[in-house]
Amino acid sequence: MTDSQDIEQQAAELRHVLNEHNHRYYVLDTPTIPDVEYDRLFRELQALETEHPELQTQDSPTQRVGAQPLPQFSQVKHDVPMLSLSNAFDDVDVNAFAKRIKDRLGQTDQLAFTCEPKLDGLAVSIRYEQGVLAQAATRGDGFTGENITLNVRTIPSIPLKLQGNDIPGLLEVRGEVFMPKAGFDALNQRAIKEGTKTFVNPRNAAAGSLRQLDSRITAKRHLAFFAYATGVKSEEHVQHTHGEMLEQLRHWGLPICPENRVVANIDACLSFYQDIADKRNSLPYEIDGVVYKVNRYDLQDALGFISRAPRWAIAHKFPAEEELTRVNDVEFQVGRTGAVTPVARLEPVFVGGVTVSNATLHNMDEVKRKDVRIGDTVIVRRAGDVIPEVASVILERRPEDATSVELPAHCPVCGADVIKLDDEAVARCTGGLFCQAQLKEAIKHFTSRKAMDIDGLGDKIVEQLVDEKFVTNIADIYQLSHPKLASLERLADKSAQNLMDAIEQSKKTTLPRFLYALGIREVGEATARNLAQYYGTLEKIESVNEESLQQVPDVGPIVAEHVYYFFRQAHNREIIESLCQSGITWESIPLSTASQALQGKIFVLTGSLSRPRQVVKEALLSAGAKVSGSVSKKTDMVVVGADPGSKYTKALELGIDIMEEEAFINHITDLGVKLP
Ligand code: IVH
């Protein structure tokens, strides 16, 4: 073999290996080599191709990084037109579709369908010649599209070369290019950081990315692809059903949506719709419905087409999640922590299956970024269970008298100053619990299911209790009497008694619930549980300092600061005192659990300590901790005395927690450790 043959073979081998690893990584999701190894092989091939440009091929993975920008896209004619689908919006439409098919085929037997999610991206047709990706085009008007070959080559899950046997000389694969939700979020995060325009939804982002004349830009966007059909084929396929064809495409290395199913009849299609609707939010990509296709090809052929859609398929759409409407006003709502949130009052509109008349604008930065003004026509979005939001403004429809939105200087509820700290996106009312809005929210939180769990104390009652001044702080809940409750509007005698019983019952609680109920900033359920488990008693939590708090799992400096200052406020202590006086109790947490915080932890002592090293060491050992002589990644904490040496530097390097001796001794005594 000559040298050049040798090099040629080496390049071919590298291409083959790299393409295979690429498929394992992006399609099968089961990589077998680490990323660095892939990069090494990739660079090896790149070097070979730079030295011998004649060895470069269309199916080389080096072609995925993008090429010089094009002046414009050329046109591609589709030999088999790219059709669209008719739509169904409910079960009635779907049953009518099945009936039309049966009538036309003159058959009453069960009809099998393939069911596929309807991906929300854009259709492309990819042409493989002798198994090698030769051309890719957009759908365009269905008959002529744009040549986007260079861009499609950059999409990692699309094979540059098909795998396996029996590959037709010519094969057009059709499917959807889309941007997974994670890639979309990352792209928009980056745009916000760089102050550039964000995309409204993943479909627009996918379309914008694929229609780039500069394919190097496309290569940086996280695009994906699922195949769902074929176009021109040089050989008649041997498959008899659409399901078998998808399976064949999968064997050739093409990504196929893992949710696809073949089902026995139209009722099963409807259950597929329900299943997919239920898991829609947890899917890593956006879909806007599902597609049913008659599974047998002979039946598809018999049914044919009507205008530009097949008779054998239908898209069963989810209710629209985006609609246009008008912003009638923008008001500011005050939340439990005083956050002042702009809310758009909308002309009511049916979106995502419900009528929406309010949508959050999140904060003033968002209002400015989206440039929302009163009078504007906007796109409202309601996806799944999330709060409806204003996605963007249709600037072309802005009326001349549209008014811009300003942050009020004073709280719309209590009149206290509204301030916005530079490093926070939200503005806050400074009224604290004197602000009726904050008080109402604090009480709603205090009585909620995961907190004190007072059944029957709904939002409407809380609002009346505050408006009537029956309740001026959370502790007042336990001072309510039956006559007071019964005097409220819409609260019958019996309900008032039930509520009194529920209040009484709530007094028996747990420390994590109580802590969570207090509504300390940044202390959610999990943090409350961690604090309770770490310290065991409320008294301890009230007395420890910020440094100690930061030792609790998942508590960082910000949470520690909020907790520390909460318990330093006299009125908070008074309220806690009053709550405990009214009979709130919880079972104590055994101290053994509390001091488990030290169990198995590895400590290193360094520098000269003010007490004998042995004393500290024994105290730690007796609490189940370990003391080691050297710092490594496994070390949990380094305790430093005066003039620490290299162990201290090493701990800094490795990012290991460091505590000064005195703070450390206070911390472990708080945890119940006794120094001998
Ligand atoms: S089949 C002849 N299957 O929906 C049938 N289309 O409204 C051709 N789409 O342009 C389409 N997911 O962009 C089919 N699983 C799927 C699909 C799907 C999304 C899109 C596609 C097409 C549009 C038709």
How would residue 598 be classed by pLDDT, with cut points 50, 70 and 90? confident
**What does each C-alpha distance from 483 to 461, 466, 475, 492, 500 come to in angstroms?**
14, 16, 18, 11, 10
594 pLDDT higher than 90: no
| pLDDT computed for residue 2 by the predictor | 62
Mean pLDDT of 288-308: 93
Mean pLDDT of 315-343: 92
- Cβ of residue 228 lying under 6 Å from some atom of ligand 1: yes
- Cβ of residue 500 lying under 6 Å from some atom of ligand 1: no
293 pLDDT higher than 80: yes
Strands 170-178 and 224-233: antiparallel
Strand, helix or coil at 328?
strand
CB 123 within 8 A of CB 226: no
591 pLDDT higher than 60: no
Domains assigned to the chain:
3-64 (1.10.287.610), 87-317 (3.30.470.30), 322-404 (2.40.50.140), 452-507 (1.10.150.20), 511-586 (1.10.150.20), 593-670 (3.40.50.10190)
CB 452 within 8 A of CB 446: yes
Can you tell me the distance from the alpha carbon of 437 to that of 431, in angstroms, rounded to the nearest whole number? 9
Mean pLDDT of 542-570: 92
Residue to probe by mutation, ligand 1, list 82, 85, 126, 174, most atoms within 8 Å of CB = 85
Q: Which range has the top average pLDDT, 112-126, 190-204, 476-490?
A: 112-126
DSSP 49-74: HHH-GGG--TT-GGGGG--SPPSSPP
Report the predicted TM-score, pTM, of the whole model to 2 decimal places.
0.60
| pLDDT computed for residue 385 by the predictor | 63
CA of 118 to the centre of ligand 1 (A): 7
Mean pLDDT of 45-71: 87
| pLDDT computed for residue 553 by the predictor | 83
CB 88 within 8 A of CB 94: yes
For the question of residue 118 being annotated catalytic, the response is yes
Q: Which atom of ligand 1 is nearest to the CA of 229?
A: 1
| pLDDT computed for residue 195 by the predictor | 82
At 393, which amino acid appears?
V
- Cβ of residue 200 lying under 6 Å from some atom of ligand 1: no
- Token pair of 200 as six digits: 């409204």
| pLDDT computed for residue 580 by the predictor | 94
pLDDT digits (tens, 9 = 90+) for 196-224: 888 878 888 999 999 899 999 999 999 99
| pLDDT computed for residue 621 by the predictor | 81
At 88, which amino acid appears?
A
| pLDDT computed for residue 643 by the predictor | 86
% of the chain residues with pLDDT over 90: 65
Q: Which atom of ligand 1 is nearest to the CA of 123?
A: 13
Candidates 77, 118, 193, 460; catalytic one: 118
Can you tell me the distance from the alpha carbon of 232 to that of 136, in angstroms, rounded to the nearest whole number? 13
158 pLDDT higher than 90: yes
CA of 114 to the centre of ligand 1 (A): 13
473 pLDDT higher than 60: yes
CA of 203 to the centre of ligand 1 (A): 14
| pLDDT computed for residue 344 by the predictor | 96
DSSP 275-316: HHHHHGGGSSS-EEEEEEEESBHHHHHHH-EETTEETTEEEE
Q: Which of 425, 491, 480 is nearest to 458 (CA)?
A: 491
Which residues face 585 on adjacent strands? Answer: 508
pLDDT digits (tens, 9 = 90+) for 495-537: 999 999 999 999 999 999 999 999 999 999 889 988 998 888 9
CA of 127 to the centre of ligand 1 (A): 18
User: pLDDT higher for 280 or 197?
Assistant: 280
Can you tell me the distance from the alpha carbon of 265 to that of 286, in angstroms, rounded to the nearest whole number? 26
